[in-house]
Amino acid sequence: MGAYLVRRFFLMLLTLFGMSVLIFVLLRVMPGNISDILFESAGLVNPAEKAKIEKELGLDQPLVVQYSTWISGLLRGDLGYAYVSEKPALDEILPRIPITAKLAVLALFFSIVLGVPLGVISAVKQDTPLDYALRVVSLSGLSLPSFWLALLILMGFVHFLGWIPIYTDKPATIWHELALLSIPAAAVGFRASALIMRLTRSSMLEVLRQDYIRTARAKGASAASVNYDHALRNAVLPVITIIGIEAAFLIGGLIVTETVFNIPGVARFLVEAIRWRDYPIVQNLVMFIAVVVVVVNFLVDMAYVVLDPRIKYED
């Protein structure tokens, strides 16, 4: 077990190193940089002034030097300065992480609370009208784009309540903030819940056809005991995998939702930084998302060991 953990940890570090190189290179091969954008927006064409700005921003240095500077600063907690605002990148990013994290956690909460129970009910009530209705709901959730559903929700609030549930000023209390975030979280979580519901249903149906389930029924075990004690405990493992993937996806997949609801989170800020070619912001935000994805996958692997005693890793 210990050797497996060490291997997985070093594989995680190697993956993050490869992703950092890929992120850095892809940003540099894109046409244009911050100095080009600044000059185009200002209508300036003086090459000497442009070269001076590139030197101040460190864009005239070799790519290897730029990458080494970024990684060494990242390891020290120094993320550099945002080119547009001229503020430390850490000061720009840190206040936005809790907002996106709260939105992602709420969306994941909605998806689990709706997806897992409804998936179990759909499997237990297979081929009944309730099962057909739940399958239609899940297909609807997978088919509706989150941004379109978010726009429908906004129009519904305006039409029926005369209120637009978007960020205008900073919420006065935590409850006000949760109320504002719960609406876009439900819009995003509906799609994730549909995916979790369908996977839970298929996993439950596969387990319910196993021999030990028939044996439990033959011994006189109650339907609740068979469905929720024997079957669900074994069917939940694939569901944990998809929940982990959705949790990682939500951190970086809220771009459109944050834009529609005017939420000042990480995803929306990333789009603005990409538009301005603000390298320190884009590099660090994309790297942050990569770290979240890799760490969540590592935790899912560890959860398998805890939840399934049949899984053993030889040292």
Q: Nearest-CA neighbor of 131 among 189, 230, 202?
A: 202
* Residue 166 and residue 77 share a domain: no
* Residue 211 and residue 178 share a domain: yes
Rounded Cα distance, 189 and 246, in Å: 10
Residue 29: band (very low, low, confident or very high) from pLDDT cuts 50, 70, 90: confident
**Residue 313: inside a domain:** no
* Residue 107 and residue 55 share a domain: no
* Residue 235 and residue 141 share a domain: yes
Tallying the residues shown for the chain, one arrives at 315
* Residue 23 and residue 163 share a domain: no
Could you say which of 94, 124, 143 is where a domain stops? 94
Determine which helix (DSSP H) or strand (DSSP E) holds 195, and give its type and residue range. Answer: helix 174-208
In this prediction the pTM is 0.77
Model confidence at 36: pLDDT above 80: no
Rounded Cα distance, 185 and 150, in Å: 10
Instruction: State pLDDT tens for residues 268-298.
Output: 888 888 777 777 788 888 888 888 888 888 8
Q: What percent of the chain has pLDDT over 90?
A: 0
* Alpha-carbon separation of residue 162 from 155, 207, 241 (angstroms): 9, 48, 41
Determine which helix (DSSP H) or strand (DSSP E) holds 272, and give its type and residue range. Answer: helix 266-275
Residue 56: band (very low, low, confident or very high) from pLDDT cuts 50, 70, 90: low
* Residue 58 and residue 27 share a domain: yes
User: What b/e string do you get for 274-306 counting C-beta neighbours within 10 Å, with b at 16 or more?
Assistant: bebbbbbbbbbbbbbbbbbbbebbbebbeeeee
* Residue 40 and residue 152 share a domain: no
**Residue 147: inside a domain:** yes
**Residue 170: inside a domain:** yes
Residues ≥6 apart with Cβ < 8 Å to 47 = none
Rounded Cα distance, 18 and 287, in Å: 11
Q: Which residue has the higher pLDDT, 108 or 159?
A: 108
* Residue 66 and residue 17 share a domain: yes
* Residue 88 and residue 237 share a domain: no
Average pLDDT, rounded, for the chain? 79
**Residue 314: inside a domain:** no
**Predicted pLDDT at 311:** 60
**Predicted pLDDT at 277:** 73
**Residue 312: inside a domain:** no
Rounded Cα distance, 113 and 109, in Å: 6
* Residue 17 and residue 105 share a domain: no
* Residue 63 and residue 182 share a domain: no
Looking up residue 276, the CATH number of its domain turns out to be: 1.10.3720.10
Rounded Cα distance, 270 and 282, in Å: 6
- Give the number of domains in the chain: 2
Rounded Cα distance, 248 and 263, in Å: 19
Structural domain including 170 reads 95-307
**Residue 315: inside a domain:** no
Could you say which of 94, 126, 143 is where a domain stops? 94
**Residue 103: inside a domain:** yes
**Residue 25: inside a domain:** yes
Could you say which of 94, 125, 159 is where a domain stops? 94
* Residue 265 and residue 171 share a domain: yes
